[in-house]
Structure 1
Amino acid sequence: MKKASILMIIGPLFLLGLYFFPLWNIMLGAPQYPEPLGMNIYIDGIKGVSEFDIQNIDGLNHYIGMRTLPKPEDMWEFSTFPWVIGGMVALGVLIGLLGFFEKVSYKWFMGWFVLMSILGLLGMYDFNEWMVDYGTNLDPNAIMKLTNADGTPVSYKPPLFGHVKMLNFDVTSLPSTGAWFMFVGMILTVMAFFVGKKAWKPKSKASAVRPIKVKTNDK
């Protein structure tokens, strides 16, 4: 159980990489841009891959009516996610320590993994909803107003995962370094669960009851 608990302690610590590395990356490439424009999405804000990428992306978006990219103070997620990640790291390490001293069973390791998975899915759903709003809620007074064949406005929603063609831009959205740190950490907690399950030796009731010796006087 001690090996499993050590894995459980190390796993959540990998999530600390989210404070230093981007969670997601979106790149925009076009013939007129020899160097693609890109933005790195962190848990506390958005930064350009290169120095002027955010400025250039906002300039392009202005023509088609998209809002400027949000600053950290514009979205509650950027102030909340760092606290959520910090809480999950602390909880995971605490569970690992309790497992090390055999205060909790290996089942708690999987409980942390399930909770973290739910939070991750909710985060991706929220991120996708933001992109839908960002790419479809356009300024009606934009310089360029493009419509589909049926007359509906063109959507400029970036893909959550993968590649899509937008006008003359190739847009690619993929997990970045921070996401891989998180993935490795979560895999370690799954390993901790199975290692702990194999090593777990529950205390049986029979062994917990000591036999009572009765003295008899033999004549």
Structure 2
Amino acid sequence: MKSISPSNRILLLLAVLTLVPAYFTPLWQISLWAPQYPEGLNMKIWIDHLSGNVDQINGVNHYIGMRHIGVEMFPEFTYLKYFMGAMIGLGVAFFLIGKKWSLYSFLGLITLFGIAILIDMYRWGYEYGHELDPKAAIKVEGMSYQPPLIGYKQLLNFLAYSGPDIGSWILMGGAGLMILAVFLDRKGK
């Protein structure tokens, strides 16, 4: 199998290195604004923990019967850091191998990882927003409180936002580098 060009090997290595900041930066954010919280409440999701106004969000969500948000509801936190480490290791191996199949394999791996994360976040949001305590103080018949996967959504008097944070933007940059490398590889044919 043919080797990739030196420039594409560098792009592959740079894409692999964009996985490293996932250990040190928040990957996702969920924010809520309401008249009683004009400054907003914000929750940051990291590779292995949560930060921000998690306690205040739990206090508000309690009234509508949502479950308590805590690290224990994210089993991903126990293995995601190891999975990311394995992806970095594979990426470095693909860089050292330097064959075309390694370039395409890493792009496939990054793409599948991104899709899996989005599916997992949608599943979590759906369960969190639909599986409500029937004894909750506030009930609106037919209303679910699923946060948006990406973007804004009105939930009663709260405006909710969900979207990528610093770490995810860096990861998307890495995916962009991989797409560029594949584009340059195909153009070189």
Is TM-score (shorter-chain normalized) higher than 0.5?
Answer: yes
Name the CA distance, whole Å, in 2 between partners of 1:195 and 1:93: 20
Deviation at 1:90, TM superposition (A): 1.2
5 Å-filtered alignment, 1:1-219, equals 1-48=5-52, 53-71=53-71, 73-99=72-98, 105-147=99-141, 152=142, 154-197=143-186
1:78-116 Cα shifts (integer Å, max 9, x gaps): 1121111111111111111221xxxxx223212211122
In structure 2, relative to structure 1, the CA distance for the partners of 1:87 and 1:98 (3 Å cut) is same
Name the CA distance, whole Å, in 2 between partners of 1:64 and 1:2: 56
Residue segments in structure 1 that go unaligned for 5+ positions in a row = 100-104, 201-219
TM normalised by structure 1 equals 0.79
TM normalised by structure 2 equals 0.91
In structure 2, relative to structure 1, the CA distance for the partners of 1:12 and 1:43 (3 Å cut) is same
Deviation at 1:196, TM superposition (A): 4.4
Deviation at 1:135, TM superposition (A): 0.8
In structure 2, relative to structure 1, the CA distance for the partners of 1:166 and 1:74 (3 Å cut) is closer
Deviation at 1:5, TM superposition (A): 0.9
One-letter code aligned to 1:91 = L
Aligned to 1:209: none
Name the CA distance, whole Å, in 2 between partners of 1:14 and 1:135: 32
In structure 2, relative to structure 1, the CA distance for the partners of 1:198 and 1:162 (3 Å cut) is closer
Deviation at 1:18, TM superposition (A): 1.1
Secondary structure of 1:193's aligned partner: helix
Residue segments in structure 2 that go unaligned for 5+ positions in a row = none
Deviation at 1:194, TM superposition (A): 3.7
Deviation at 1:43, TM superposition (A): 2.1
